[in-house]
Structure formats: structure tokens, C-alpha cells
């Protein structure tokens, strides 16, 4: 499955999650067997060449998530996690909160 995360730069698993307004680049995590298999980065979230993104993880519950929901993504929000690695770990242990209508 694929997880999309707005981040501050291309620093691998150490990239920090940020708001949609402040983001510099998108991180796309391929999540399998309870861990991140690969992490790709792109300024355009539609340029990864995959058909379906399962989840998007946002900085806070006040982000504009309607477009993501319209594309069929489940929208999650971090609690205290800062980096992609921490977000992936929280995802694996179901420690992210769901946002939606």
C-alpha cells in the first residue's frame, strides 16, 4: 500500500512532516510487511506513476483534506510524530488519527 506525506525536503526517512501550505515536496512511502519498503519524493504528487494511493497523512486535522477523500484516499493525521520514519512507525501500530466527515 502507498502512503502520501507532505514534507519539508528530500531527507529520506528523516524528512519532517509539514502542513500543506509549508510543504516543499511529497513523500510517497511503499508500506509492506509492517515497514517502509521504499520512499520516493516529488514536487508533484501525481507524478509518482502509480494508480492508487491508499492513505495521506497530514500535519493536523484542520488541513484541507477534501480533495484527497474525493480521490479515495483515507485521511490520517499525526499525533506527535515529526519525521517520515516516526509516521510510518505510528501507522504500523495504528497510532494515527482518522479525519473525515
Name the domain count of the chain.
1
Give the number of other CB atoms < 10 A from CB of residue 98: 11
pLDDT of 77 reads 97
Do the Cβ atoms of 61 and 77 come closer than 8 Å? Answer: yes
pLDDT value at 20 more than 70: yes
Tens of pLDDT, residues 62-95:
999 999 999 999 999 999 999 999 999 999 999 9
- Compute CA distances 60 → 12, 21, 34, 37, whole Å: 21, 12, 24, 25
CATH number at residue 75: 3.30.420.130
Q: How far apart are CA 5 and CA 84, in angstroms?
A: 8
- Cell digits for 74? 483515507
Residue 24 is part of which domain span?
Answer: 2-99
Amino acid at each position: 500500500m502507498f502512503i502520501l506525506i507532505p514534507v519539508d525536503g528530500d531527507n529520506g526517512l528523516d524528512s519532517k512532516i509539514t502542513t500543506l501550505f509549508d510543504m516543499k515536496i511529497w513523500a510517497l512511502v511503499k508500506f509492506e510487511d509492517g515497514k517502509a519498503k521504499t520512499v520516493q519524493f516529488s514536487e508533484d504528487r501525481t507524478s509518482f506513476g502509480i494508480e492508487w494511493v491508499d492513505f495521506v497523512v497530514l500535519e493536523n486535522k484542520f488541513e484541507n483534506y477534501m480533495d484527497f477523500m474525493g480521490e479515495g484516499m483515507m485521511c490520517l493525521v499525526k499525533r506527535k510524530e515529526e519525521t517520515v520514519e516516526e509516521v510510518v512507525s505510528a501507522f504500523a501500530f495504528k497510532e494515527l488519527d482518522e479525519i473525515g466527515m
